[in-house]
Structure 1
Amino acid sequence: MSVMERRAVSARREGLLGDEPGAFAVARFVRVTPMKARRVVDLVRGMGVDDALATLKFAPQAAAETVYKVVDSAVANAESTEHLSRADLVVVKAYVDEGPTLKRHRPRAQGRATRIDKRTSHITVVVGPKVEAEAPAKKADAKKAEAKKDDAKKAPAKKAPAKKATAKKAEKKETR
């Protein structure tokens, strides 16, 4: 699918992926609180798809089942629409937004009532191909080189004040 065809297909895809290959899936109005769903989503963000599905399958949280279905749907979308290999896919982005809150009331003592908030979530998962690991290695080498330069600059600077201090002590002794 060309870039122009993608733009015609979905503005949401443009916002989530841009021109990058990949796919996404969204589960809306899920009856689980966003805070609890975020705990589950944080487990799988950045993982390979097969590892993420295995983790979600055995996670004890109630939201894990829904997140499992969303990740599986995103993988199926990537395989069918983008023709990407399942082995190369990674969970690139995963986040949970708050949906509408259902407001209910519960009777309490002395004729009072309290409000019960039943929160909902919108779960979004974006999968894409793995990124090569060469870029971090180059960054690490550059950081090491900068650290060596900084150490070289700091070493003479530490010795210089010590020499001045001894010279001042010698001058004081001579004047006495």
Structure 2
Amino acid sequence: MGSRKRISNEKIKEAKKDIAFAKLNNCPTSPRKMRLVADIIRGVEVQKALGILKYSKQHASDKLEKLLLSAIANWQVKNEGADIEEAELIVKTITVDSGRQLKRIRTAPQGRAHRIRKRSNHVTLILGTKEVKVKAEDKK
């Protein structure tokens, strides 16, 4: 590997060291309902997000709480000996994509049938650290 590629690869590894992610595939909840809960915790600190999800009434919050705990565990494996409170982890990005649909048929009057689509979704959650913005005056 050339020196330029090696240097850029090392930069990418350093950038990825601060993040951890977890995925949830084929969750049997409609993507729209999951996005309502995901929008609440996007950009929020991890401890606050856990509190929000724990006391939320929506069914999707249980799944997202478990996924967030998994992402935290993944971060702890990556950064051994590091403390979560000192790292100031936040939910950097959370995406909810639609998964497969189970198509069922419900009987309707006069010999007809109505299609029922049981939706599922895929959730990807990425944790990162807070980025400290440095003013242009401080750089001088």
Using structure 1 for the length normalisation, give the TM-score. 0.65
Match of 1:131, SS state, is coil
Larger radius of gyration: 1
> Which ranges of 4 or more aligned residues in structure 1 deviate by more than 4 Å?
none
Structure 2 residues not aligned, in runs of 5+: 1-5
List aligned pairs for 1:56-135, cutoff 5 A.
56-83=53-80, 84-87=82-85, 88-132=88-132, 134-135=133-134
- Of residues 37, 41, 48, the one that matches 1:40 is 37
Q: CA deviation at 1:44?
A: 0.5
Using structure 2 for the length normalisation, give the TM-score. 0.80
Q: CA deviation at 1:18?
A: 8.4
User: Percentage identity across aligned positions?
Assistant: 35
Distance in 2, matches of 1:58 and 1:76, equals: 21
Structure in which a larger fraction of residues adopt helix: 1
Structure 1 residues not aligned, in runs of 5+: 8-13, 142-176
Q: Aligned residues, how many?
A: 124
> Deviations for 1:31-81, whole angstroms, at most 9, x for unmatched residues?
001011011001101111000000000111110000111111000100112
Distance in 1, matches of 2:21 and 2:115, equals: 36
Match of 1:19, SS state, is helix
Distance in 2, matches of 1:63 and 1:43, equals: 12
Match of 2:15, SS state, is coil
Q: Which residue of 1 aligns with 2:15?
A: 19
Match of 1:99, SS state, is strand
Distance in 2, matches of 1:95 and 1:118, equals: 20
> Deviations for 1:100-148, whole angstroms, at most 9, x for unmatched residues?
111000011111111000000001110012222x43xx37x9xxxxxxx
Higher relative CO (Cα under 8 Å, sequence separation at least 6) belongs to 2
RMSD (Å) for aligned C-alpha atoms = 2.2
Distance in 2, matches of 1:37 and 1:76, equals: 22
Distance in 1, matches of 2:102 and 2:129, equals: 38
